[in-house]
Structure formats: C-alpha cells, structure tokens
Amino acid sequence: MKSRLILTLLVLTAATRVAAAPATLTATVKDTKGAPVTDAVVSLIPLDGPAPAPAEPPGEIAQQTQEFLPYVTVVQAGTKVMFPNRDTVQHHVYSLSKAKKFELPLYHPGQKESLVFESAGLVTLGCNIHDWMIAYLLVVPTPWFAKTDEQGRATVAAPAGRYRVEIWHPRLSAALVQEIALPAGDSPGRDFTLSLKPDRRIRRSGATKSGGYR
C-alpha cells in the first residue's frame, strides 16, 4: 500500500514537471504587403488553468518631447503604471476607455503619477492640452506577452501547455485569435498576417513644438 502511494506521488510530480516545463513562442507579424509590423502585442492566455498573479515591476508611460513614450504598452491586469512628466511643460492625461476611465489633472514637469489597472482591456490615452498626443495601454489577463520589434518579431516564454494566442495592434479592427499547443522547448516560429487600417494619427506641425502650459 505504501509503495503504491509513493508511486502515485512520483507520477503526479513528474506530470507537474512536464506541465510546467518551459516553452517558447516566436511570432513574426507582417501586414498584407509583407512588411513587418512594429508594436503588435502577442499574448498567451492559458486554457489549462488560471494565470498567475502579476509579478512584474510597474509599467511606465512617460510624457517626453510632448509625446507619450512608448506609443504602445502592455501590462498584466493588476499592474501599476507610472506616468512621469519628463517634459518642460504641464500635461493633462486622461482616458475615457471602458477598461479604465481616469484623469490626471495638470501636473508639472518632474512630477510622477501612478495608477493600478485592474481590468483587462484597451486603454486609450490622450492629453487635454496637446491633442496630437496619443498612446495605447493594453491590459491583458496573463503574464505571458511580448511586443513586436522593428522586424515584426516577438518572443514569449511560458510553461508548456494549451493557449489562446491574441495579437493586437492599434490599427487592427479586432484582435487576431488562435488556439495553439506549446510543447516544451523552442517551438517552430509562427507567422501571422494582419490587415491594418490606415494610420489616422494627428501629425504635429513645427509651430506646436513649443506649445503647452508652463
């Protein structure tokens, strides 16, 4: 009886180790013309159990040279995000998005505000003073995500298992969703093609570069 119990525990331990074995997804994201897509978010939503709680350091979206930097940020739900003003003018950051409506009234250069983003979803950021300033904060229900670089590549490390892959970009009408099984180790690279809308961002004129409240 005792030996059978030990054998059962060993089998369960081995199964747990296999389930938790590390895996890697390397995604290459391009548009319909074959050009690499920068700032696409690739996230892995686990299908075999809940995602672990946030353990990442706070995110950061700075105001600098009268722009939001970076243009796209991704964090897990429950993460704090810092909003430092590294500019020489005041800013008035706000969002009307369903995932998080907030307002950071006029605050001076050198100040740093912060907020916790509890709910998954897209948060679009703007500035009430500088109407060309826009940024996107994607809050995802998983710690396994990455953002594509200038070559359109993103690498996500996660435990082996089944996942829903979600790929988002500001110029997508809706996220691209697929289900995959990640084996332990480095899996073959996967290619994704996005049909993007035109870039409608407001472009700054030279006359606006010294604008804003001091």
Any idea what the CATH number is for the domain that residue 99 is in?
2.60.40.420
Domain span including residue 30: 20-51+144-195
Cα separation, 45 vs 63, whole angstroms: 31
What pLDDT is stored for residue 56 in this prediction? Answer: 79
Q: Using the 8-state DSSP alphabet, how is residue 189 labeled?
A: P
Q: Is residue 206 part of a domain?
A: no
Banded model confidence at residue 43, pLDDT cuts 50, 70, 90:
very high
What pLDDT is stored for residue 55 in this prediction? Answer: 84
Residues 65 and 44 in one domain: no
Cα separation, 25 vs 179, whole angstroms: 13
SS3 of residue 133 by DSSP = coil
Banded model confidence at residue 188, pLDDT cuts 50, 70, 90:
confident
Residues 31 and 91 in one domain: no
Residues 46 and 151 in one domain: yes
Q: Is residue 204 part of a domain?
A: no
Residue 190 clears pLDDT 50, i.e. is over it: yes
Q: Of 70, 30, 54, 52, which is closest to residue 154 (Cα–Cα)?
A: 30
What pLDDT is stored for residue 38 in this prediction? Answer: 98
Residues 88 and 134 in one domain: yes
Cα separation, 27 vs 154, whole angstroms: 5
Residues 130 and 67 in one domain: yes
Residues 131 and 106 in one domain: yes
Residues 128 and 61 in one domain: yes
Contact 201, 132 (CB under 8 A): yes
pTM of the predicted protein model: 0.85
Residue 136 clears pLDDT 90, i.e. is over it: yes
Cα separation, 169 vs 175, whole angstroms: 7
Arithmetic mean of pLDDT over the chain: 88
Is the alpha carbon torsion for 8, 10, 14, 17 positive or negative? positive
Between strands 134-140 and 190-194, the pairing is unpaired
Q: Using the 8-state DSSP alphabet, how is residue 206 labeled?
A: G
What pLDDT is stored for residue 202 in this prediction? Answer: 78
- Number of compact structural domains in the chain: 2
Q: How many CA atoms lie within 13 A of 77 on its CB side?
A: 15
Helix or strand (DSSP H, E) at 16: helix 2-19
Q: Which residue has the higher pLDDT, 54 or 146?
A: 146
Q: Is residue 207 part of a domain?
A: no
